[in-house]
Structure 1
Amino acid sequence: MPLVGRGVGASPFVAGPRGWPLVGCLPAFGRDPLGFLARLHRDHGDAVVWRLGPLRILSLADPERIAEVLGSPLDHGVLDIGWMFRQLVGDSVIRSEGAAWRRRRALVQPAVRPNRVRGFAPAMAECAAEHLDGWTDGQRVDVLREMTLLTQRIAVRTLFGAEPGARAAALAGAMAEAAHEIGVELRGPGVLLPGWVPTPARRRIRRAVGVIDTELGELVRERAREGSADDLVGRLLAARDTEGRALTPREVRDEAVTLWAGGHETTATALTWAWCLLARSPDARDALHREVDEVLGGRAPEHADHDRLPWTRRVVEETLRLHPPVWLVPPRVAVPGTTVGGRAVPVGTAIWCSPWVTQRDARWFPDPLAFRPERWGTPDADARAHFPFGAGRRACLGARFAQVELVLLLAAVAQHFHLDVRGGIPPPLPGLVAHPASPVTAFLRRRDPAPHRPGT
Structure 2
Amino acid sequence: MTTQAGSAAVEETAGGHQIVPGPRGVPLLGNLPEFGKDPLAFFERMRERGDFVSWRFGPGPALFIAHPDTIGELLTEIERTFDQPDLGIAFRTLLGNGVVVAKGADWRRKRSLVQPSVRPKQVRSYATTMADCAIALADRWTDGQRVDVKKEMAALTQLIAVRTIFGVDTAADAEAIGSAMDIAQKEIGAEFSGIGALLPDWVPTPGRARIKRATAVIDAEVSRVVARHRDGDTERPDLLSRLLAAQDETGAHLSDQEIRDETVTLYIGGHETTSSTLVWAWHLLSHNPRARQVLAEELDRVLGDREPGFDDYARLTYTQAVVKETLRLYPTIWLLTGIAKEGATLGGMVIPPGTRVWSSQWATHRDGRWFTDPDEFRPERWDTAEGAEAEHIPEYAWFPFGGGPRVCLGTRFAMVEAVLVLAVLARRFHLDLDPEEIRPVPSLTLQPDREVLATVRTRD
TM superposition score normalised by structure 1? 0.94
Percent of aligned pairs with the same residue? 50
Equivalent in the alignment of 2:51: 46
User: Which ranges of structure 1 fall in alignment gaps of 5 or more residues?
Assistant: 449-456
Task: Indicate which of 317, 321, 328 corresponds to 2:335.
Answer: 328
Distance in 2 between residues matched to 1:69 and 1:175, nearest whole Å: 30
Q: Name the count of aligned residue pairs.
A: 446
Task: Indicate which of 286, 298, 321 corresponds to 1:314.
Answer: 321
Equivalent in the alignment of 2:39: 33
Equivalent in the alignment of 1:204: 210
Contact 1:112–1:401 (Cα < 8 Å) also in 2: yes
1:416 has 2:423 as partner = no
1:56 has 2:66 as partner = no
Distance in 2 between residues matched to 1:74 and 1:414, nearest whole Å: 44
Distance in 1 between residues matched to 2:17 and 2:416, nearest whole Å: 36
Equivalent in the alignment of 2:389: 379
Distance in 2 between residues matched to 1:75 and 1:91, nearest whole Å: 21
* Paired residue type of 1:400: R
Contact 1:49–1:58 (Cα < 8 Å) also in 2: yes
Give runs of aligned pairs for residues 152-191 of structure 1, distance below 5 A: 152-191=158-197
Equivalent in the alignment of 1:67: 72
Distance in 2 between residues matched to 1:94 and 1:121, nearest whole Å: 24
Distance in 1 between residues matched to 2:301 and 2:425, nearest whole Å: 15
Contact 2:98–2:262 (Cα < 8 Å) also in 1: yes
* Paired residue type of 1:70: L
Q: Deviations over 1:365-403 (max 9, x none)?
A: 011001111111323661511100001100100000001
Equivalent in the alignment of 1:362: 368
Equivalent in the alignment of 1:228: 235
Task: Indicate which of 132, 145, 149 corresponds to 2:138.
Answer: 132
Offset of 1:81 from its aligned partner?
Answer: 2.4
1:368–1:7 CA distance, 2 compared to 1 (3 A): farther
Distance in 2 between residues matched to 1:414 and 1:50, nearest whole Å: 44
Offset of 1:112 from its aligned partner?
Answer: 0.5
1:268 has 2:275 as partner = yes
* Paired residue type of 2:103: E
Distance in 2 between residues matched to 1:317 and 1:158, nearest whole Å: 23
Equivalent in the alignment of 2:359: 353
Equivalent in the alignment of 1:454: none
Contact 1:7–1:46 (Cα < 8 Å) also in 2: no
Distance in 1 between residues matched to 2:319 and 2:10, nearest whole Å: 45
Q: Deviations over 1:218-268 (max 9, x none)?
A: 112212222234111111111100111110010010011111111111111
Q: Deviations over 1:15-45 (max 9, x none)?
A: 21231101111111111000001101202x1
Offset of 1:55 from its aligned partner?
Answer: 3.1
Equivalent in the alignment of 1:86: 92
SS in structure 2 of the partner of residue 332 of structure 1: strand
Equivalent in the alignment of 2:6: none
Equivalent in the alignment of 1:344: 350
Equivalent in the alignment of 1:194: 200
Distance in 1 between residues matched to 2:71 and 2:25, nearest whole Å: 25
1:407–1:8 CA distance, 2 compared to 1 (3 A): farther
Distance in 2 between residues matched to 1:298 and 1:431, nearest whole Å: 39
1:375–1:118 CA distance, 2 compared to 1 (3 A): same
Equivalent in the alignment of 2:443: 431
TM superposition score normalised by structure 2? 0.94
Distance in 2 between residues matched to 1:75 and 1:336, nearest whole Å: 7
1:75–1:231 CA distance, 2 compared to 1 (3 A): farther
* Paired residue type of 1:447: R
Distance in 2 between residues matched to 1:365 and 1:425, nearest whole Å: 24
